[in-house]
Amino acid sequence: ALTAGIVGLPNVGKSTLFNAITKAGAEAANYPFATIDPNVGMVEVPDERLNKLTELIKPKKTVPTTFEFTDIAGIVKGASRGEGLGNKFLANIREVDAIIHVVRAFDDENVMRENNREDAFIDPMADIETINLELILADLESVNKRYARVEKVARTAKDKDAVAEFNVLKKLKPVLEDGKSARTIDFDEDEIKVLKSLFLLTSKPVLYVANVSEDEVGEPDNIEYVKQIREFAATENAEVAVISARVEEEISELEDDEKAEFLEAIGLKESGVDMLTRAAYHLLGLATYFTAGEKEVRAWTFKRGMKAPQMAGIIHTDFEKGFIRAVTMSYDDLLKYGSEKAVREAGRLREEGKEYVGQDGDIMEFRFNV
Ligand code: GDP
What is the pLDDT tens value at each position of the chain, 370 positions in all?
Answer: 889 999 999 889 999 999 999 888 777 777 777 666 788 999 999 999 999 999 999 999 999 999 999 999 777 777 778 767 778 889 999 999 999 999 999 877 666 655 455 555 688 999 999 999 999 999 999 999 999 999 888 888 778 889 999 999 999 999 999 999 999 999 999 999 999 999 999 999 999 999 999 889 988 898 999 999 999 999 998 999 999 999 999 999 998 889 999 999 988 889 999 999 999 999 999 999 999 999 999 999 999 999 999 999 999 999 999 999 999 999 999 999 999 999 999 999 999 999 999 999 999 999 999 8
pTM of the model: 0.89
CA distances from 109 to 12, 103, 217, 286 (A): 13, 16, 18, 40
Q: Fill in the DSSP letter of residue 354.
A: T
Query: What per-residue string of b and e applies to 41-75 under the rule 16 or more CB within 10 Å gives b?
Result: bbbbbbbebbeebeeebebeebbbbbbbbbbbebb
Number of H helices and E strands in the chain, helices first, is 14, 12
Where does 3-283 sit in CATH, by number? 3.40.50.300
Is residue 326 within 8 Å of residue 367, measured between CB atoms? yes
C-beta 106 within 6 A of ligand 1: yes
Closest-CA residue, ligand 1 atom 24, reads 213
Of 311, 309, 268, 254, whose CA–CA distance to 286 is shortest?
Answer: 311
Cα separation, 320 vs 354, whole angstroms? 10
C-beta 272 within 6 A of ligand 1: no
Closest-CA residue, ligand 1 atom 10, reads 11
- DSSP E strand stretches across the chain: 3-7, 40-44, 61-63, 66-71, 98-105, 206-212, 239-243, 286-292, 296-303, 323-330, 350-352, 362-368
Compute, in angstroms, the gap from residue 109 CA to the centroid of ligand 1: 12
Compute, in angstroms, the gap from residue 214 CA to the centroid of ligand 1: 11
Ligand 1 atom closest to the Cα of residue 17 is 7
- Name the residue type at position 321: K
Where does 305-368 sit in CATH, by number? 3.10.20.30
Compute, in angstroms, the gap from residue 246 CA to the centroid of ligand 1: 7
Contacts (Cβ under 8 Å, ≥6 apart) of 307: 354, 355, 356, 357, 358
Q: Fill in the DSSP letter of residue 114.
A: S
* Residue spans in the chain of domains classed CATH 3.10.20.30: 305-368
- Substitution candidate for ligand 1 out of 15, 16, 246, 249 with most atoms within 8 A of CB: 16
- Read off φ and ψ for residue 307, nearest 5 degrees: -95, 165
